[in-house]
Structure 1
């Protein structure tokens, strides 16, 4: 059983449901060195703080492997290929949908588990063909790098570490790497050639039956050229955890009824069916640099007619913020955590056209509308409208 698009060729083991191969066409290399998406279960008990502490000796207590129930091709369309694998682990049922989207360089694994185990730790493993002496994990507004070959007692104690949306291994050559993304699971462990994500535990204290029942999660594998800082890992993590929401807007402007926005699945952008005077696609808000992440766009606490944008630099590089928007928004003054304007010496109230953002720096700004780009509704709500 296989899935394929212009970026990836994926082969599934028909006897186990594991991944036999993930071949990256853009890298011209095989990513897996062994069975991928392999569910690994371990006995996990004996800790005083049952729900908080994983048994440090769990690796010496593996449980029998999963048993394949079924494997079926669900979708083979022009937009999406989807194959469903169902497996049994003890009294639990595990369903995986392997999903490849058109033009996507990421393999998504949509997972549903009916979890009915006691004191079992469940992980999913991806052995890789690279060799990495360090791993990088996403942290709030940045990332942290740790060794994959622990030497000190402190390093050896970090056999399970947290990450937000992703963990990454980049080959020591610096030529390529792989990121394991997640939408709701935050415990990772790594080796120089393996990424592994903790999916579930099943403690009985302080709550009996904790985590039992239906569980839904999605994780994904993304391969890239170069290092994590030059890749699209941060973007892919946000795309997974915060997917695009699409709303129909039958009255976009005062010029009458117009066709609604529709989503282009291949580019994750809004487009508009062609109407004279309207572009085929539009930029709602751009910061001008791939390493800058817009973490907040909100109304001001002090003035609902004022907007605040907050961003951070995510890859450890100097970047330049240049705001652009087809909604007629422009960059205002820099503000502090209380959203008060920070006046630069000699600059007065003049807002900059471009701002340098230092590595890992968090910055916040006023974002101001041009004339007619924001209108007030009768209910007092602010509605964004393209400037005319």
Structure 2
């Protein structure tokens, strides 16, 4: 990690407790560094403790393997992270419709490489590669590829000046995975969609919704695409795509004509996506650790006068305000109550699609816990018992539970 505002800041490995903090007072050593080796053909071989990838001069992934179970996960003769362009001319509603016939107009989006792939940071905690290119007729992009020592994915950050007309930019990853269904994350869960066009219903799903991740998997391995703010996806056969940018001209002729920044990541894994931690890694990608410069204060307390409680630090080197015993349960929201004084709202959901009973632990001085609905109204059945700093909740598959947590008044 590093302070994002200063590229010269020293990188250090750190483990931060969930819903908590870690005070940094020194630099730790990394046990398994990340490496980048330039090859004779101009490509770069990247390696960390999880994976090894080869990237060509255009930033395209020509090879991807897991170290634990070596197997080529990029389709033979193809490349991943391939930026592709489509003509986007709907019949009626320019800014709303996407017609299926646009898929027949695919071509490479990169017209000219301005600066080929260059290593701008070389370990031991992080490797960064950078390239820039002309895209379409009037656009340019800068792409940064990052592999660090602690995450099991290759990350792509794109800055693009987008000034096209009726064009659709996507990125695709042809992977060596055979499956009839792909899995897409939606809010508070996930769903499956076909990877084939066997029926007219299947054909109508040439683009489907997805939030933080989409994954294609076989029995014992798979590949996941994580992202931060792009929600149109498609998996056709073994090719995974994310829709990046459109350029409609009606009703707004200048819609999206500006600079854009977005991030996505390629994560191979063994086992199931649940056991491999795809869900948790996607949350980490979307909620990176924040670095603050702070000093000791007189006493540890929670400031309830702001919308989100602020922890004031003193002698404690690390702290975790909330922890969930079972990884299947995700704390989606922690906020100050809108309707109750000295009260927090915690909202959790079951993310694996299973029945699970788990304990939720906290170091806060909580005196009472009450089940509530989405509007923070107490529910008729309130059988939560808060004792010894924890409560126990039982979840059905994808169930969402909200709880009012009343704090001790003098905290």
Q: Which TM-score bucket, shorter chain as reference?
A: 0.7 to 0.9
Matched with 1:73 is 119
CA distance in 2, matches of 1:80, 1:64: 29
1:334 and 2:371 aligned: yes
Q: Match for 1:9 among 52, 55, 67?
A: 52
Matched with 1:205 is 250
| Deviation readout 1:22-61 (Å, 9 max, x if unpaired) | 2221332222112110011111114311111123211222
* Equivalent position SS for 1:31: coil
| Deviation readout 1:185-233 (Å, 9 max, x if unpaired) | 1111112312111111111111112211211000011122222233312
Matched with 2:325 is 288
Structure 1: where are the runs of 5+ without partners?
Answer: 256-269, 375-388
Matched with 1:247 is 292
Matched with 1:83 is 129
Q: TM-score, normalised by structure 2?
A: 0.79
* Equivalent position SS for 2:201: helix
Matched with 2:259 is 214
CA distance in 2, matches of 1:31, 1:292: 30
Q: Match for 2:394 among 339, 356, 375?
A: 356
The answer to whether the 8 Å contact 1:323/1:330 transfers is no
With 150-159 and 321-330 compared, the bigger mean Cα shift is at 321-330
The answer to whether the 8 Å contact 1:86/1:95 transfers is yes
The answer to whether the 8 Å contact 1:323/1:331 transfers is no
CA distance in 2, matches of 1:167, 1:108: 15
Where relative contact order (Cα < 8 A, 6+ residues apart) is larger, the structure is: 2
Matched with 2:69 is 27
CA distance in 2, matches of 1:252, 1:21: 51
Q: 1:332 deviation in Å? A: 1.5
* Equivalent position SS for 1:282: strand
CA distance in 2, matches of 1:125, 1:364: 38
Alpha carbon RMSD of aligned pairs, Å?
2.5
CA distance in 1, matches of 2:148, 2:320: 23
Q: TM-score, normalised by structure 1?
A: 0.83
Q: 1:65 deviation in Å? A: 4.7
Q: Match for 2:81 among 28, 31, 37?
A: 37
Matched with 1:54 is 98
Q: 1:119 deviation in Å? A: 0.9
* Equivalent position SS for 1:332: strand
The answer to whether the 8 Å contact 1:288/1:321 transfers is yes
Q: Match for 2:189 among 117, 139, 142?
A: 142
Q: 1:340 deviation in Å? A: 3.4
In structure 2, do the counterparts of structure 1 residues 331 and 322 end up closer, same or farther at CA, with 3 Å as the change threshold? farther
Matched with 1:379 is none
The answer to whether the 8 Å contact 1:134/1:192 transfers is no
Matched with 1:303 is 340
With 83-92 and 126-135 compared, the bigger mean Cα shift is at 83-92
